[in-house]
Structure formats: C-alpha cells, structure tokens
C-alpha cells in the first residue's frame, strides 16, 4: 500500500501549489495561536480555495474552544480536524466531524507502550492516530521520539484500530527508514520542508516527494 503524505503548516499560496504539484495527499493548517505557523480562519479560507479535489485539507488545533473550532469549520470547511493537545474523546466527537487524534509520545501519561495503547484506544472514532514527539511547543518542532516505543505500539495495533500516522522530526534522510521500520499508513512532515516556520521551500517539498516515490512501499505488488 502506498504511504500517504500529509504536509503541514502552510501559510502561503505558492507553497500550497508546490505541495499539490509534488503530489501531497493532505495539507495541514495550524490554528494554534502560539505557533509561528498560526493562521486566522479567514486567511485559511482563502488558502484552502487553492486546494483542488482529491487533496485533503486538515485543520490543526491545540486545546481550542468549541466556538473557535466551529468558526474554522464554517470558514474553511476542512476535510479533517486534527487535535494535538489534551482534548478528550467527548470533545473530539462533539463536532460530529472526521478527526485525527495526535498523541505526544513520551509525555508522562504516554511514556510506555501499555499506557499509549490504552490511551489511544479511547479514540476509536478517530480517522487516524498520529504519533508526534513530546515537546513544550506541542508540535512542529522537528524532534524525533523513541522509536522503540513506537515499535511496541505498532506490534499491538489491531486491524480495527484507526491507521497510524507518523510525525515528529520526519526528514528527507530518515523517512524511508522510518517507513520500513514502522509501516505507517501516512507520514506527516512540517519542519523538514521549510526554510523558516510557515515558509515552505518548493525544492524541499519536491525532494521529499521524490524520496517518497522511491519507497518500496509506494510500488504495487505486481
């Protein structure tokens, strides 16, 4: 199966065009005011108009108010929500909207495979379980986490569980090895394809997709 690619943290139309042309499957927009990649909902609405059919848009939040999530949904109509903070299952489900749940591997309540699996399984309604590293910035920090923890988690992943999305310090030089080791459904990359937070680099985007296209997991079995 082809490993899907989400690219995150877009703030400029030219970067969206570069990612779409390079073949990204999903584009993320950050609605966390403390992030340097933060977008106001009305800015995101204009950017999202540039995303064509068959490329998904993802609205990323960290512990938002319900009203703010509703504003973003109304303005931008994203395909998916991504909750990257301490949002409860009830909160994530309250919007009756498809969502990805991000888990910060290495946080005090997520520092062993057993704790992680127990925690993740509460979010059975998620469309994907995304694993990122535990940092004070909540994400987009380019930091990897303990691979052994993820391997243990992958071993306990059941077919009925939401698919795994690998994030946190995914870069050109490590993405193929990470795919080979963990077989994620998708990877999510932000820092590695930019010159500065929110300022993507078309060459880095293209180079990342070239590497992804070399992956043995991108080829058909025939």
Ligand X SMILES: O=C(O)c1ccccc1N[C@@H]1O[C@H](COP(=O)(O)O)[C@@H](O)[C@H]1O
Task: Return residues touching ligand X (CB under 6 A).
Answer: 8-9, 28, 30, 32, 35, 37, 60, 62, 84, 130, 132, 138-142, 167-170, 188-192
Closest listed residue to residue 169, CA positions, set 195, 193, 136, 204: 193
17 in active site: no
Block residue for tokens 């379980």: 129
Query: In the Cβ-directed half-sphere of 178, how many Cα atoms lie within 13 Å?
Result: 27
Give me the residue whose beta carbon is nearest to ligand X.
139
- Looking at beta carbons only, is 136 or 160 nearer to ligand X? 136
Separation between Cα atoms, residue 167 and residue 145, nearest integer Å: 9
- Closest CB 108 distance from ligand X, rounded Å: 18
Please give the distance of CA 74 from its chain centroid, rounded to a whole number.
21
146 in active site: no
- Looking at beta carbons only, is 113 or 200 nearer to ligand X? 200
* Residue of 8, 15, 92, 120 marked catalytic: 8
- Closest CB 158 distance from ligand X, rounded Å: 23
N-terminal to C-terminal alpha carbon distance within the chain? 12
CB-based contact 142:191 (threshold 8 Å): yes
- Looking at beta carbons only, is 57 or 191 nearer to ligand X? 191
- Closest CB 197 distance from ligand X, rounded Å: 6
* Residue of 15, 92, 120, 132 marked catalytic: 132
Look up residue 75 and give its two tokens: 């303005």
- Looking at beta carbons only, is 73 or 137 nearer to ligand X? 137
Look up residue 137 and give its two tokens: 């910035």
As annotated, the active-site residues are 8, 132
């Amino acid at each position: 199966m082809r490993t899907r690619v989400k690219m995150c943290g877009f703030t400029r139309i030219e970067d969206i065009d570069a990612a779409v042309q390079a073949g990204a499957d999903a584009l993320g927009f950050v609605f966390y005011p403390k992030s340097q990649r933060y977008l106001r909902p009305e800015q995101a609405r204009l950017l999202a108009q540039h995303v064509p059919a068959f490329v998904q848009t993802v609205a990323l939040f960290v512990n938002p108010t319900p009203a703010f999530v509703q504003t973003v949904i109304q303005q931008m109509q994203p395909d998916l929500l991504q909750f990257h903070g301490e949002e409860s299952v009830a909160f994530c489900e309250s919007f009756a909207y498809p969502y990805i749940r991000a888990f910060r591997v290495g946080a005090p309540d997520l520092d062993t495979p057993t704790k992680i699996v127990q925690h993740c399984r509460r979010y059975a309604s998620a469309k994907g379980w995304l694993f990122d590293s535990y940092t004070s910035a909540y994400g987009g920090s380019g930091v990897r986490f303990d691979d052994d923890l993820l391997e243990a988690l992958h071993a306990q992943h059941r077919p009925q569980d939401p698919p795994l999305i690998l994030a946190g310090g995914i870069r050109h030089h490590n993405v193929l090895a990470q795919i080979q080791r963990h077989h994620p459904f998708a990877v999510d990359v932000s820092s590695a394809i930019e010159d500065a937070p929110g300022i993507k680099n078309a060459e880095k985007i293209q180079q990342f997709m070239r590497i992804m296209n070399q992956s043995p997991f991108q080829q058909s079995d025939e």
